[in-house]
Amino acid sequence: MISITVDVEYWWCNEFLKKYLPENREALIHRTVDIVLSLFEKYNATTTFFVLGDVAGKYPEVVEKIYEKGHEIGSHAYSHEPLYRLTKEEVEKEIVETNRLIYKITKENPKGFRAPHASITNQNKWIFDLLRKHSFVYDSSIFPVKTNLYGLPTAPLRPYRPSMEDITKDDPTEDLLEIPLSAIRILRFRKHPVNLPVGGGFYLRTYPLWFIERTIKKILRERRPFVAYVHPWEFYDELPKLKVPPWVQFEAYHGTGTQFLRKIEHILKTFKSVSLEHIAENI
């Protein structure tokens, strides 16, 4: 099974763009989400849209359209601030408000959660207690890789139930399921694995299509789901081009627009995408 999930957020939520943003900017939510919905509809595919609470509050009609197309609505917290910068009270407030807004639109509480910037670590593992408290069934925030912004490289590559002693360890007695973003093992140095990230928008934009397809097949042969995130703005050809350093420009804009659309279209044509709810129910 594969799931090309969608994190519904503003184009400026990219952490590396924050200090270069103009005061007045267009959200582009309607136009970018419509591109994604049309693509999934073309291939009769469904997935999970993790919706930012701020988006659900300002654009409820967009969330309603996603839901009416048969997609699962998950929570992406409220503000897109990395959760390791927030207190426990602030995180719970974001969870509660986003759940309220999603329920108001869909009349259902979200079953799935994804932290902005994959920002759950052992330092804020109490977030899993909050997710249980607010009736979430699964989380999809852990990326078993190491980057400057996020990552838990020693976490399992396949779905597991995080231990509250160490969330990189599996504890079958726990009830909350973790469905990690996809990576492949390329090296093990003593006890420290080196994993290559695959299941993310930037990586899908950057890697050649032949490599992505080969990697998906490898992951499926290992009997684990391929799980990736994309953002609606990545499909848009007319993103506002900010004056930023070259490395930020590459991270934010490389491979976006029609080029990205064609890549994801090929994946949806080749493999059957399902929601994370479906994956959780069939593990």
Q: Domain ranges in the chain?
A: 2-281
DSSP, res 139: E
Beta strands in the chain (DSSP E): 2-8, 48-51, 72-75, 112-113, 138-139, 177-178, 183-189, 192-197, 226-230
192-250 pLDDT, tens digit per residue, is 778 899 999 899 999 999 999 999 999 999 999 999 999 999 999 999 989 999 999 99
State how far the Cα of 55 lies from the Cα of 49, in Å rounded to an integer. 12
- Judge whether residue 82 has pLDDT over 80: yes
110-161 pLDDT, tens digit per residue, is 999 999 999 999 999 999 999 999 999 999 999 999 887 788 999 999 999 9
State how far the Cα of 195 lies from the Cα of 209, in Å rounded to an integer. 19
Per-residue pLDDT, 36: 98
Torsion of CA 210, 45, 197, 123, to 10 degrees: 180
Tell me which architecture the domain covering 2-281 has in CATH: Alpha-Beta Barrel (3.20)
Predicted confidence band of residue 189 (pLDDT cuts 50, 70, 90): low
Residue type, 2: I
Mean pLDDT over each residue of the chain, to the nearest integer = 95
